[in-house]
Every structure is written in C-alpha cells, then in structure tokens.
Amino acid sequence: SHAAALLARAGVRNFVLVDFDNVTLSSLNRHAAACRAHVGSSKVAAVASQIRAIAGPSGGCDTPGEIQIPEGVIEARAAMFSAKMATGLLLHPDWIAAHPDSMQLGYFSAGGGPGSIADLPDWAVPDLVLDCIDDVKTKAELLTWCVHARVPAISSLGAGGKLEGTRLHAGGLADVVNEALGKALNTKLRQTLAVDTGAADTGAVDTG
C-alpha cells in the first residue's frame, strides 16, 4: 500500500493491485491507505480508493474492479496470486479479451512455442512488478513468472524488527546475507528456475 501510494504521487497512472486479504482492525497500523471505514473490505479496494484520491477526482471507497482515473486505469483484483492465476491477474485486460482461451493456459510454458510466456507482447505484460508477498512459495511463483515473461521485479524481503533505516540495502538475490526470507526465497528459486541466482542478478529479478 505504501509503494502504490508513492508511485501514484510520482505520476504512475496504471496499476494492477492484487491481494486476497481484507482490512482488519489489527492491520490498520501498517496500512498506508486503510482507515476504520475500510475494515471488512478488500485491501485492494482501499488502495485503489487512495490512488484515485491522489490522481483523480475525489470519491468514497471503491469496490474491486476497473476504476477510471485521468490517463490511467486501476485494476483492483481481490484474489490470491498463484502460478495458475497469473494469466488472469497480471496480463493486460485487452490481451485477455482478445485471447479468451488464454485463461485455460494458466501459467503458460516457460519455453518457446504456443502458450509461451516469452512470446507475450511487451504491451500485454506489466512494465514492473512489485513483489510484496510474505509467503516464500507464492513469492517464488511470482518471480518465476516475471523471469520467463521478461518483466523486471522488485522483491521486498524481511524488515520486521529492523530499526536502523540507514542500513536498508537494495541489490540482487545473490547479495542476501543473514536474512531468513531472502535465503529461503533463494533456495526455492534455485529449485524452480532453470537458471542460477546469478542469472537473477542480471536484472530479471532484482530485490531490495
């Protein structure tokens, strides 16, 4: 939510927001957009409402779906990401509409040929993916998709209990030292990708 708000203030106008969770009282202390009025509604609805307030005309809370703002669109998708759901959650809606059978392909194949992630046109995939997931398996599935789709990604790792903000580090996965989430993600990606972590350092996957 914090990253989305900052991107909106920086001028980004097209967003795909994916989160299956709802706002709770206990999550208000760490959510950039939600307030008590949002409790019980989806987190993506709260973030979409904030982005619209920043970038376009004022309004109340929004429900998940397509929200028009000046020169941009917010896709608020209240769903859990998975490899099988990647097509419907991450690809441009115009591409999906033109390829109705694509939903049956799910994750696509990593190699070339029909249904290959690598064959998707540039306009159909995101310009950038922000991975803010806290589950190792799901993070690995998202980053694996990004690698095969040639989409740059920034992955957030563990910051709980860290008090010294000046020691925040941005780098490749190979730079991870003594950070449990990053080490576990590294191991999982080594198992799921046909590349080593050094290949992720080339820019296919960047983490900070």
The pLDDT tens digits of the residues spanning 11-66 come to 898 999 999 988 888 888 888 888 888 898 899 999 998 888 887 754 444 555 55
Contacts of 115 (CB under 8 A, 6+ apart): 105, 108, 109
Query: Which tokens hold the place of 127?
Result: 């310009």
Q: At what angle do helices 2-9 and 43-55 cross, to 10 degrees?
A: 20
Q: Are strands 65-69 and 72-77 parallel, antiparallel or unpaired?
A: antiparallel
Are the C-beta atoms of residues 207 and 157 closer than 8 Å to each other?
Answer: yes
**Do 52 and 72 contact (CB within 8 A), yes or no?**
no
Q: From CA 16, how far away is CA 127, in angstroms rounded?
A: 11
* 103 C-beta neighbours (distance < 10 Å), count: 13
Token duo for residue 118: 């690598």
pLDDT in tens, 149-193: 889 999 988 877 777 778 778 888 878 888 888 889 988 888 887
86-99 pLDDT, tens digit per residue, is: 878 888 888 888 87
